[in-house]
Amino acid sequence: MTRKALITGITGQDGSYLTEFLLAKGYEVHGLIRRASTFNTGRLDSIYSDPHSGQDRLTLHYGDLSDASVLARLMGAIQPDEVYNLAAQSHVRVSFDSPEYTTDITATGAVRLLEAIRETGIKTRFYQASSSEMFGQAQEVPQTERTPFHPRSPYGCAKVFAYWITVNYRESYGLHACNGILFNHESPRRGEEFVTRKITRAVAHILAGLQTKLNLGNLEAKRDWGYAREYVEAMWLMLQQEKPEDYVIATGETHSIREFLDTAFGHVGLDWTKHVEIDERYYRPAEVDLLVGDATKAKRQLGWEPKVKFTELVKLMVDSDLQLLKDCREGRTRVTS
């Protein structure tokens, strides 16, 4: 029997890679999308432009994590074997401007989905997109599944709630529910307002003479950056285990924004100090200074480990943005890999 998956956040970076991954495994994939005034399924172009991608097994449904009735209706109609909750207001800086909305979608959205599963009584497995932002002001280095949480933003607080409500439904109702505690993961499909993509896109524009300055905030923060395409496999692996558990997914390396700038600008022979200007607007009221994960448990129990590390990741993102700009200027449309 064809296995069915429901993905919230299917139009996002991770949602698009997970969809490709599941279609390649033969799944029937259902995705929740929001109605928008502009086209918002661009990250799924790789699927729609490839007749061999399994696109006939992909169905998109309008809905929103704020709308419980849609979630229950879809759950009953689709009866998915696996549910991946990837939808969120996922931008940390924005969460300080919009804390209530962030809580409604990123925290309460998770319980709405869990309730939809409980109410319909379907036997499904549930993945919650938890985040290293929950560690915030990290209590130990590196961070593991046992490290206490100390979130530093409304986003981090919302993710802590979603983490615990997932554990609670596992313990209360015997639901096969897992938290993937994913550290930062990036790709050519990363949103342009996150620091990595903002930098790699600027490198392409500066090299082409379309931009001279790049405004950034805190350059000292350190992150454990991995490659999103590899991280979605870990999500799937968690749901294939007999016993539901929570896992840290990370590379085990940490680098500052400054090092990212060195590598990205250095890759094309540019000196970032000539282009970067510090802009207070990009600072956060409270910062997460240092994140680095220990994914030993995932390696031991899931057999998962990252292959693409920092330098390769930065270069592949810069190369992709260079190509994207070239294609755009030459009037070609391109599918981002």
Residue 65 binds what, of ligand NAP, ligand F7E, none (CB under 5 to 8 Å, by partner type)? ligand NAP
Structure tokens at 36: 């928008």
Q: Residues 6, 161, 68, 39: is their CA dihedral positive or negative?
A: negative
Contact 139, 190 (CB under 8 A): no
Residue 284 binds what, of ligand F7E, ligand NAP, none (CB under 5 to 8 Å, by partner type)? ligand F7E
Site for ligand NAP in 33-52 (CB under 6 A): 34, 36, 40
Which of residues 28 and 224 has its CB atom nearest to ligand NAP in the complex?
A: 224
Cross-strand pairs, 32? 8, 61
Q: How many CB atoms lie within 10 A of CB 309?
A: 15
Q: Which of 6, 23, 65, 290 is close enough to bind ligand NAP by CB under 6 A?
A: 65
Contact 219, 257 (CB under 8 A): yes
| Binding of residue 292 to ligand NAP (CB under 6 A) | no
Largest CA distance in the chain: 59
Identify each DSSP E strand in the chain by its residue range. 4-8, 28-33, 58-62, 82-85, 125-131, 176-182, 185-186, 214-216, 222-223, 226-227, 247-249, 255-256, 276-278
Which one of the listed residues 20, 82, 133, 186 is annotated catalytic?
133
Which of residues 179 and 275 has its CB atom nearest to ligand NAP in the complex?
A: 179
Site for ligand NAP in 173-192 (CB under 6 A): 182, 184-185, 191
What are the residues binding ligand F7E (CB under 6 A)? 90, 92-93, 131-133, 183-184, 193-196, 198, 216-218, 221, 223, 257, 282, 284, 287
Distance CA 239, CA 234 (A): 9
Residue 155 annotated among the catalytic residues of the structure: yes
Site for ligand NAP in 101-140 (CB under 6 A): 105, 129, 131
Which one of the listed residues 17, 84, 155, 247 is annotated catalytic?
155
Residue 257 binds what, of ligand F7E, ligand NAP, none (CB under 5 to 8 Å, by partner type)? ligand F7E
Which of residues 132 and 147 has its CB atom nearest to ligand F7E in the complex?
A: 132
Residue 131 annotated among the catalytic residues of the structure: yes
Cross-strand pairs, 82? 5, 125
Distance CA 54, CA 214 (A): 40
Query: In the complex, which residues of this chain contact ligand NAP (CB under 6 A)?
Result: 8-9, 11-15, 32, 34, 36, 40, 64-66, 86-90, 105, 129, 131, 182, 184-185, 191
**Could you give the residue numbers annotated as active site?**
131, 133, 155
